[in-house]
Amino acid sequence: MDENSILVRNLCKRFNGFALDNVSFCVPKGRIVGFIGENGAGKSTTIRLILNELKKDAGEVKVLGRDHTDPTVKDEVGVVFDTCNFHEVFTARDVERVLSGVYSTWDSGLFQSYLERFQLPLRKAVKSFSKGMKMKFSIVCALAHRPRLLILDEATAGLDPVVRDEILDLLLDFLQDEEHSVFFSSHITSDIQKVADYVVLIHQGKIIFEEEKDTLLDRYGILRCGQSTVVPPEDYIVRRETGVSTEYLVRDRTAAGKKYPKAVADAASLEDIMLFYIKGDASCED
Q: What value does the mean pLDDT of the chain take?
A: 92
Q: Record the pTM.
A: 0.92
**How confident is the model over 43-96, as pLDDT tens digits?**
999 999 999 999 999 999 999 999 999 999 989 999 999 888 888 899 999 999
- pLDDT at position 78 is 96
Distance from C-alpha of 179 to C-alpha of 158, rounded to nearest angstrom: 30
Question: Is residue 284 very low, low, confident or very high in pLDDT (cuts 50, 70, 90)?
Answer: very low
CB atoms within 10 A of CB 10: 12
Mean pLDDT, range 165-180, rounded to an integer? 89
Integer-rounded Cα radius of gyration of the chain? 21
Question: Is residue 1 very low, low, confident or very high in pLDDT (cuts 50, 70, 90)?
Answer: very low
Q: Which one has a higher pLDDT value, 242 or 15?
A: 15
Nearest CA to 140 out of 165, 181, 109 is that of 109
Q: Say yes or no to pLDDT of 18 above 60.
A: yes
3-class SS letters over the chain: CCCEEEEEEEEEEEECCEEEEEEEEEEECCCEEEEECCCCCCHHHHHHHHCCCCCCCEEEEEECCEECCCHHHHHHEEEECCCCCCCCCCEHHHHHHHHHHHCCCCCHHHHHHHHHHCCCCCCCEHHHCCHHHHHHHHHHHHHCCCCCEEEEECCCCCCCHHHHHHHHHHHHHHCCCCCCEEEEECCCHHHHHHHCCEEEEEECCEEEEEEEHHHHHHHCEEEEECCCCCCCHHHCCEEEECCCCEEEEECCHHHHHHHCCCCEEEECCHHHHHHHHHHCEECCCC
